[in-house]
Every structure is written in C-alpha cells, then in structure tokens.
Amino acid sequence: MRKFASLCTALLLCSVLTFAQQKTVSGRITDEKGDPIPFATIMIKGSRAATVADANGSFNLNLKNGTTLLISATGFTTKEVSAEGQKTVSVQLAGSSRLIEEVIVTAGGIKTKRKEIGTANTVIRAEALTAGKSMNVASGLQGKVAGLQISGTSGGINPSYRLILRGQRSLTGNNQALIVLNNVIVPNSVLGNLNPDDVEDVVVMNGAGAVALYGSQASNGALIVTTKKGKRGQTSIVVSNTTTIEQVAFYPKIQTKFGSGGTAYGLDPDGKPIFNYLENQSYGPAFDGVKRPLGPALEDGSQDSAFYSFNPGHNQFWKKGINNQTNFSLTSGDDNSTFYLSGQYATVTGTTPGDKYNRATLSANGTRKIGNKVMVSYNTDYTQNRYDITTQTASMYGNMLNMPSNVDITKYKNWRTDKFANPIGYYNPWYLNPYFSADNYRSIQRNDYLIANVEVKWNPINGLDFTARQGMTTRNYSQKNTVGQFKYTDFAKTTDQSSKADISASVYDASNYATNLLTDLFGQYNKKVGDFDFKLIAGGQWRQDQAKYLNITANGLVVPDLYNASNGVGSPTVSETNYKARQIGAYADLRIGYKGYLFLHGTGRNDWVSILDADNRSFFYPSVDLSFIASEAIGALKSSKTVSYLKLRGGWSKVGQVNLGNSDNFGAYYTQPIFSANAYGFPYGPLPGYSVGNGLVQSGLKPEITKGYEFGFDLNLFKDRFASSITWFSTKTDNQTVPTAISPTTGFTSLLTNAGQTGSRGLEVTAHYTPIRTKDWSVTIGGNYTYLDNTVNFIRSDLTKLPLSSSGSGASYAVAGQAFPVIEGFDYKRDKEGHVIVNSINGLPTKSDTISILGNAVPKHKLGLDGTVQYKNFRFSFLFDYRGGYKTFNGMGPELDWSGTGYRTAVYNRQSFVFPNSVIEDASKPGTYVKNTSVAIANGNGNNGFWTEDYNRGVTSNYVTNGAFWKLREIAIAYDLPAALLAKTKAIKGVTISVQGRNLFIWLPKDNIYTDPEYSDPGADNNGIGLTGLGQTPPSRYYGGTITVRF
C-alpha cells in the first residue's frame, strides 16, 4: 500500500513537471543499508520542478530554479541535499526509520509519529477510501480495517451505517465509534454528509487508550477524519463526475409453483386446494397457465385477470436506481497560506419506486501564518440533503409479498389512470397496491449541516505552543410526512369480501435543530534532555450539546391536498422537547521517548458532566502505553536483511462513559423520573391530569467504566514488501447504565440502573505483501482479519437478561454469560437430543412455552481481502469482505410464509408430510421418544393448514439462519490518460477514467433465502443486532464509471 501511495504521488507530480534545457543533476537514492528506494520524489526547493526516481532509485533532474533538492519517499524522512556545482548526488534517506516516521493525527489534533504510538491504529488514505466511489465515508471504509465492523443497517437511497470498533461494550448505550472531523467531535451522521472526495485520510484508533484525551465518548474508539488542505506551491483544479447504477443484488427466494387460494376455500375432488380470485395467500392449486380472473368484477362490469403461471414481477418491482455525483475542488497555497475549496452535488434515485435523494456539499479549508509564531486554520463544511421518500417501505414490501407470483406486479404502477391499479378497482380487498402505498404515504425531509472550526496556534518559544480551537456542528432539519386522502366508492367498499376503508388525509410536520459546540484549549511543551525526549500536553475541553425538537400532527385534513398543520380537524397533536448537556474535561498527556526507540506514554483526564447528579458527575480515568522499536534498538535486527521493522507495543486504559440517553437527547434529564401530562387525552378542557411515568431511576447513577489492555506488534519484512500488524485486545466494561425492562407488575416498565459487565476480547491482524514492484508493475495483496469474542458477563442477580430490540417473534437479548447479543425466540418443543417432538396422532409439532437462545448475533470472524495491481497507467483494485460465526433472524420469513410466496412453504409441494427429524412419544414408555417416520401432518397447505399456522410462523427458530456472507465489496479499474496525450491541451494536467462496482455480489449460506444479514431492523443506533425485517429493501449492488479531470 505504501509504495502504491508513493507511486500515486509520483504520477500526480509527473503532470506538473516542467521541462527546461539547463544543467541537470543525476543521482541515486538509497536507504541506510544501501538498497535503492524506488520512486522517491525529488523536488527543487522553492519551485514546482520535481521528478521521480525509477525503480532502482535513480533520477535525472533539470536544475532550473535552484540547487537545493528535497528528497522524499513515503515512510522515509525527507532530506535536503545541495546539488550546487554537482553533476551527481548520492542520497541516503534517514537511517532505518522509514514507515514509522510517518506522522498521523491523533487525539486533540496532535501530530504524533506512528512509531511512538503504543496502541493499534490504521490509516486509510483518500485513494483507498474513494476507490468504490461511495457517497458515504462509512461505506468507503467497509472491510478495510481490522477490528472495525461497519454494517449497512438499511437499504434505501441513503443507507445507514453502524460503526463498531472491537465489539460492543455498553449494553444499551452508545457503542459506535467516536467520529472526529478535523479535530472536532461530530455526530455520526456527519459521515454520510461529508464529501468523501474531501477526505485526506481517516485514522482509525481501535482502542480507547489511544484517544482517551477525547473524553468519555472515546471509550468506543475513534475515527479521526482529516480533510484536504491546500498545498504550498501547488494550484490545481479537479473536476469529476461519477454515474452509478444501483440494482438489487439479492432477492428473497420465493416459490414459483402455486397461486391464490387455499384449503380454507375447500378442496376439489382431487383433494387440491381451491383457487380464489382475490385471495392474497398463495395456497391455491398449482399453476396451470390458464387465464383466470383477479378480484371481483368492477362496478362497470370489467374484471381484471392474469395467466395462472409464474411471473417474475416480484423481482421487477424494484427499480434500477441512478446515482450521479459531480465534484469540483480547487487547491492552492503559498508560503503563508493555503486553501482548499470544494463542492459536490449528488442526485440519487433508489430501488424503491419513487424514492429520491439529493445532496450538495460545499467546503472551504485554509491555513494562514501570521508572523512567525501564529498559525491560524479553519475548516468549514456546509451540506444540505433532501429526501423525498415513502414512509411505508415495510408495509409496501409486505403488500408486495402478498401478491401471488402469477400476478404481474408492475402492471399496477399507474394507479391514478388504470382502473385495475386504482385502489377502488384493485383486485385485492385486504392489501393495498404497493405502488399506491409508496405514492400515498410520503416524507419530505431536509437536513442542513454546518460544520466549522477555527484554530489558532501560538508558538511563543521553541518547544512550546498553545492551541485554541472552537468547533461547531449544527444540524437544522425539517420534515413533512403526508398521507393522501383516498375515498372509495360504496361499491368498492361493499362488493365481495372487501374491507377497503377510506383513508383520511393527515400531515406530520417537524422542525428541529441540534448544535454541538466544542472548545479546546491546550498547551504542548517539548524538551529533549540527553537521550530522553519529553512531550507534555495539558489542557481543557468544554462541550455543549443542545437540541430542540418540535413537531405537530394534524389529522382529517379539511382541504385534502393542503398539507398544513392548521388544516386538520380537532386538536393537532403537538410535541416539544428541548435538551442541553454540558461537559468539562481537564487532561494531561506525557510522552517520554528514549533514544528514539522506546516510548512511554500516559494520559489522565477528569470529566465533569451535567447529566449526572452533582455527587457523581466528576470522574477520572488514566491510560498508559508503551512502544518499543526493536528493529532499531536491537543490533541484530537493525542490520537484518529480512526484518525491516519490528515494533512491540502494549497499552492499558480506563475510560469512563456516561451512557444515558442517545444522540438526540445527550442523556439530559435522565436522572429523575417524570410524570406525563398527556396520558389518555389529558388535559380535557380546564381539567389537567398527570400520569406516573413508567421509568424508574436508581438514585446516584454512576458512569460506566471500560478497562482494557492491548498488546501486539508491527512487523515488516523484505524491505517493507511484507507489512503486518497483530494486536490482541481485551476490555471489560463495568457499571453499565441500563434502562432494564422490568415486569409491569412492579408498576413500572423500565429501571435505569448501574448493573452488569460486558467483555470484549479479540485479535486483529493486518498483512499485506507486494510480490512485484517494478517500474511498470506493482502488485500488492493482503487483508485483515478480526476475531471477536464479545460477551455479556453478568447483568444483575435478579435480572439475567435484557431485551435490546425485536422484530416480529425474534428478539435480540443481552443474556448473562452469553455472546452480546444473542437472538431469542420461540422454538419447537424438542427431546433431549434436539429432535422436534410431534403429536403421535396428527404429526403436528408444538411451539415452546418460553423463548430461548437461538444463536449468537455477533460475527466472530471478519475477514477483508484486498489487492491492487498497477500496470503502467492502469490501476486495478478489489476488496472481498467476509463475516461469519453468527446467526440472524429474518423478520420477513413469517410474512413470506403467511403470503404463501415463501420458498419454504412449497418444499413438500403443499402435500402432507412427516415433520423432518421429528420424534413421537413412545406409547409404551411415556417420557421417552422414538423417531417419527410415519405420522404425517395431514394439511401440508396453508390458508388454514400447516404453513400459516402459529406452529410454523410463530416459531422463531424457523427463520433464524446462518448470518455468514461473502461480499465483493469493491472492484475498480482506473486508467490515467498518458501525459503525452494531454500535453497538447496545455490546460489539462491529468485525466483519469475509472469504472467501479460496490457490493457487486453477495454469497449467502444455503439456509439464508431472505436478505442481507448485515441489515439491522432496529436501526444503526441500536445494540440489538441480529434481526432483519421488511423495513429493509433488498440489498443493492452499485456499479458505474467516473471521469476525473485535473487542471
């Protein structure tokens, strides 16, 4: 990867080369051991002239504008060499300190050499992040970082992502990685509202220790995102356009043999179920190709019909989406200032018919030196996004699944003009036309984000500087959800089996804002004493989060198309909530370096938070880590030809986190129980009435504390052609703040309490190898692997499990002594060996009385495999992503079986069958069971038969499948037009054409016939993973092309 990066830089620089006929210098660049460093960059100081060394480290350069050479290569220290009066120079780059001399941004915006850091971290550069041209930074990171699990938790036009580092710690609180943008903590939603092209790099700090300085939120690790800055002496403009097609990549598997009807309509003389022309359940006779009516005749006498044979309409319901992004950026800089301007406009249509999304972002970043001692910098990002989507994704999907598969769904699209598609004449009396549900229930949302920060750095004397920084994130958003009025004719309401009912118009209108302010003030002092190097940082941080939510619902709109809250009948429903939370942190950070190969680092921070009681709101937490560069300290390694770099590292940390509330309310006001003024319609005129709230709060709530350690090593071999990093980590989180559900017989339904402990242990491995590295060819392959053992150690003696979320009959639970979380639900009653016990007369199984654990919902193994191949101007890259060792509950399963389109329902051809792997009670020895080979379930149909009954659909375990998947996450081919070709244009410096695909293929285990196990029905912010539902549309693949022009 590193060489690839330097090569990219080299290619970029090629385009700005200037040619002159003055005297030249040639030379060779080597490392300390005398081996050539290929593709190093050689610049003439103070000018834009530059060249790149070849694979053997040799170069030629015209000395046009000066004689001082600046020689740099990724991973090496930049060196200044004078070529005054010389024809050849021989340059040896900075000792053996190569890769690790690289400087990255860590907590607080402090730049630290990677070799000094005693904890695991990963740097993802812009080119890797944007290879797949995703609109969302989170999706660009998927599969690329060991220990980081990014799950796309929903489908749709702007999918949500859940970012978890090293598993879940908090039982019910926030577990998502902290997002830091340009040194300022921002809400996670910012990742989806940032132009990925603006990102310079993302530093992933896997553990809490590395970022303890960020305060309590850092217990989940952090993603430190830095956007691009202008570069000194370079002016360039980049314009690009990407067009991406979105297409469903995986459809739920449906049966293709049977249509409408069922045994409730009786049996024909052959014992086959009877066809019914309006039944939504596909439990009728087998398809025979005959044209049959659909629904009752309309008022005008006409009647809809369809051929009674399979039609792939279920798959064709989902559209091809188009995503178009146009980017512009301009960078410039001189000795005193730099700036970077950019803009992006993106429009998206999704796979859901009618859903639209667009996003526009503008950024301006810059730096300015004032005198010699003051440096000012600023970053501003403004993003606005607009949604126009349906609110009925789940019911639309459900309605669609309840259309038998002989019905061509797509012909019901034009419901406004087509009498058979219009709800009045629509054949199905119980389920709405899915196109109508999508069109009639809409949500228009607008979000405006302004993210800005200014920083002043004052460097009064050498070795000492002070930084003051003010960051601000503000989100202003509004939403209008509308339901259109629909009136049926009396005929439609009363004919045949109709239960069609008028829909009255309503509107929900919300306007909200959230503002986060973050002030940092700190000083840094560096001092070298003999072999020791001291760096001390001390400072304070002030944080304020504030939000207001105001919404109003009006029902029964008087003028049907006037979607205004003042247009309803009766009192509108109004809700207003306000939240404000503050935090102060004071911290110190000391790093002691010894001889450049041993680094001891310690931090301490005390937080004071407003959201806890005064007695408990102050808490202190320290961290310590150690880094030892063995390859520099030990002589044998230093001279080794094999080992080029070996770093041993380890760290211990303790971080406190106040896990109250959520990102909308910041945990404000949680410490006191509340009374509701609006229960049961109160107030009635002048009569007020208050209800006792359902939540209990333990007095003296404390922060939860995560303690953990990690150790590992970074090992590079064969001149860094092989680079690896291995980390073992273990954390325990105590004093969980848990809003536990409690029996309503206590008078309450939840108790907020400190209880329980979770644990997370695992291994993170990253390895890359570059077998080929020549001037024309470069091949790098590698990957990352994560093993995660995430557990709930205990909760409390009287509460051994906690419900986290549910989808239908499946629920995600934290259970003491189990993986965090597990899927729980109903199973069949089984004998000791696990065989299903069936009734010895009718062959029917019985649903278990209570729910039980049906599987671990957290992936134990995660693997990313990536590769890049570079040949001359071609670049090819790919990324495969695997997750395994867990289960998922598919909430759409019961709906599929209800509708009779489910694949499972036809595995016995709707015939009588013997329940597989079942046993019956041995009549001679009660309590013992014998294998059942003959007692069959008589009614193997549905619509009153096995498949629609509770002992099939109500049994959760029937829909729990292996959660494993392989995905081809990204694949991209890019081609840079040859410089020679562009030279004639004078203006154009570079043109890159690329084609790329994301999530092109998904491979699922045989039992998962439903959907993408990455989805999470309760949403990105909920820890109750492992459940999918109908709210998530089928997973998509994305593919498209990009043209990028640099001026």
Of 335 and 615, nearer to other proteins (C-beta) is 615
Least distance to other proteins from the beta carbon of 669, Å? 4
CA-based nearest residue to 130, from 143, 119, 140, 142: 140
Helices 393-401 and 892-899: crossing angle, nearest 10°? Answer: 30
Of 21 and 850, nearer to other proteins (C-beta) is 850
Least distance to other proteins from the beta carbon of 534, Å? 16
Backbone angles phi, psi at 951, to 5 degrees: -75, 0
Angle at 625 between CA 623 and CA 627, to 5 degrees: 165
Angle at 654 between CA 652 and CA 655, to 5 degrees: 135
For 765, the token pair is 């491995």
For 209, the token pair is 């220790």
CA–CA distance, 146 with 863 (Å, rounded to integer): 8
For residue 583, the 8-state DSSP code is E
CA-based nearest residue to 579, from 551, 544, 614: 544
Give the Å distances, CA to CA, from 780 to 522, 541, 713. Answer: 41, 42, 21
Burial class (CB in 10 A: 0-12, 13-18, 19+), 934: exposed
What lies within 8 Å, CB to CB, of 75 at 6+ separation is 2, 98, 99, 100, 101, 102, 720
Of 192 and 855, nearer to other proteins (C-beta) is 855
Of 402 and 868, nearer to other proteins (C-beta) is 402
Of 400 and 723, nearer to other proteins (C-beta) is 400
Of 326 and 504, nearer to other proteins (C-beta) is 504
Of 157 and 609, nearer to other proteins (C-beta) is 609
- Amino acid letter, residue 1022: N
Cβ contact 963:946 at 8 Å: no
Based on its alpha-carbon atoms, the radius of gyration of the chain, rounded to whole angstroms, reads: 32
Place of tokens 């649903």: 847
Of 640 and 852, nearer to other proteins (C-beta) is 852
CA-based nearest residue to 855, from 1013, 676, 1003, 978: 1013
Sign of CA dihedral 608, 612, 613, 619: negative
Least distance to other proteins from the beta carbon of 615, Å? 12
Question: Could you give the maximum distance between any two Cα atoms of the chain, in Å?
Answer: 107
CA–CA distance, 995 with 131 (Å, rounded to integer): 10
Least distance to other proteins from the beta carbon of 694, Å? 7
Distance of CA 151 to the CA centre of its chain: 5
Of 137 and 742, nearer to other proteins (C-beta) is 742
Distance of CA 1046 to the CA centre of its chain: 31
Place of tokens 């009363």: 494
Least distance to other proteins from the beta carbon of 539, Å? 9
Of 110 and 799, nearer to other proteins (C-beta) is 799
Query: In terms of DSSP bridges, do strands 506-529 and 464-483 run parallel, antiparallel, or are they unpaired?
Result: antiparallel
Least distance to other proteins from the beta carbon of 810, Å? 13
Give the Å distances, CA to CA, from 429 to 277, 411, 416, 726, 783. Answer: 11, 17, 18, 61, 54
Of 677 and 983, nearer to other proteins (C-beta) is 677
The β-bridge partners of 239 are 328, 1045
Least distance to other proteins from the beta carbon of 271, Å? 20
ω before 683 within 30° of 0 (cis)? yes
Least distance to other proteins from the beta carbon of 1012, Å? 28
CA–CA distance, 151 with 1017 (Å, rounded to integer): 12
Least distance to other proteins from the beta carbon of 473, Å? 20
Of 436 and 826, nearer to other proteins (C-beta) is 826
End-to-end CA distance of the chain: 26
Least distance to other proteins from the beta carbon of 113, Å? 26
Least distance to other proteins from the beta carbon of 570, Å? 4
Of 728 and 748, nearer to other proteins (C-beta) is 748
Least distance to other proteins from the beta carbon of 627, Å? 28
Of 827 and 976, nearer to other proteins (C-beta) is 827
CA–CA distance, 114 with 760 (Å, rounded to integer): 25
Of 614 and 987, nearer to other proteins (C-beta) is 614
Phi-psi region of 46 (alpha: psi -120 to 50; beta: other; left: phi over 0): left
Burial class (CB in 10 A: 0-12, 13-18, 19+), 258: buried
